Structure 1
Amino acid sequence: MLRPREHILGNLETLYREAFARAQASGDHAEQARLDFEFRRDQLYLESVLDVRDLLRPPPPPPETRPEDKSVIAQISELRSLTRLPFGR
């Protein structure tokens, strides 16, 4: 089963936020700038890969119509056609 896009992007963001917080705590501005750039770059790469994944996935099957989705008249018509006996044979 494929993980949802939001879950994957959320994991990426969590990873970078933790690293950014460590760089911020140590006062390393160059590391913060590097992490900010890498996060945005990796996010673009990942979104592109996820778009390709979504395009390659087969389309979902059409939803089946359930009897409760049909009108009462349509259900009666179907029952009548099933119970008709072929006359004239």
Structure 2
Amino acid sequence: LLFAFNFHPCQSLTNVLVPVPQPGEYTVELCTDDDKYGGFHQVAHIPYPTKRFDGKDYVELYLPARTAIVLKEHVILPKEEKK
């Protein structure tokens, strides 16, 4: 699991590059900005593909003020070849 936090009381962060251990896609498992936690639901619950810069992998996130996001690596299994 990958944890990202923004503790600032009023400054949201855009285009934040969060380092990840390996390339792939990451999905939101928990976001404190969701409606059910009293938030404004500003974080999209979509797969976040990794981006590569200078030989390192990152996911690019929007982190609203006073928010914590938990991401999980989404493993994509290769399709079996047809015989």
TM-score normalised by structure 2 residue count? 0.19
Structure with greater contact order relative to length (CA < 8 Å, sep ≥ 6): 2
TM (norm. structure 1) is 0.18
Who wins on radius of gyration, i.e. which is larger? 1
**Comparing both structures, which one devotes a greater share of its residues to strand?**
2
Point out the structure with the larger helix share. Answer: 1
